[in-house]
Homo-oligomer: A and B are copies of this chain.
Amino acid sequence: MTENLMEAMVSETKQKKPTDKKQRIVTVAAELFAEKGYANTSTSEIAKKAEVAEGTIFRHFQTKENLLLSILVPFLKEALPPMAEDVFSKVLNRYTDSPESFFHALITNRYAFFIENKEYFQVFIKELVYNEQIRNEVIPIFQRTVLMQIETAIQTFQEKGKITKTIPSETLTRTAFSIMFGFFLTHLFFQNVDGESNIEEKINQLVHLIMNGMKTSV
Chain A residues proximal to chain B, CB less than 8 Å = 35-37, 39-40, 99, 125-126, 129-132, 135, 139, 154, 161-168, 171-172, 174-179, 181-183, 186, 189-190, 202, 205-206, 208-217
Task: Evaluate contact between A164 and B214: CB separation under 8 angstroms.
Answer: yes
Partner of A174 from the list B130, B165, B182, B189 (CB cut-off 8 Å) is B182
Contact in complex: A163, B37 (CB < 8 Å): no
Could you say which residues of chain B place their CB within 8 Å of the CB of A178? 178-179, 181-183
**Are B214 and A210 in touch, CB under 8 angstroms?**
yes
Q: Are B163 and A202 in contact (CB under 8 A)?
A: no
Contacts of A214 in B (CB 8 A): 99, 154, 163-164, 167, 172, 175-176, 210-211
A171 to B203, CA, bound (A): 11
Apart from the given pairs A182-B182, A211-B213, A213-B213, 19 other A-B contacts in the complex at a CB distance below 8 Å: A35-B132, A37-B39, A39-B39, A99-B214, A129-B129, A129-B130, A161-B216, A162-B215, A163-B214, A163-B215, A165-B216, A167-B214, A171-B206, A175-B209, A175-B214, A178-B179, A178-B182, A179-B179, A212-B212
Say whether A179 contacts B175, CB under 8 Å.
yes
Given contacts A125-B129, A129-B130, A182-B178, contact A172 B209 (CB under 8 A): yes
Bound complex: CA A157 to CA B168 (Å): 28
CA–CA, A98 and B155, complex, Å: 31
Q: Given A178-B179, A209-B175, are A217 and B164 neighbors across the interface (CB < 8 Å)?
A: yes
> Please, which residue of chain B has its CB at the minimum distance from the CB of A160?
B216
Residues of B close to A132: CB separation below 8 A: 35-36
Sampled A-B contacts (28; CB under 8 Å): A37-B131, A39-B39, A40-B130, A99-B214, A126-B129, A129-B129, A135-B189, A139-B189, A154-B214, A161-B216, A162-B216, A163-B216, A167-B208, A168-B205, A171-B206, A174-B182, A174-B183, A175-B183, A175-B206, A176-B214, A177-B182, A178-B179, A178-B181, A179-B182, A181-B182, A209-B213, A210-B214, A211-B214
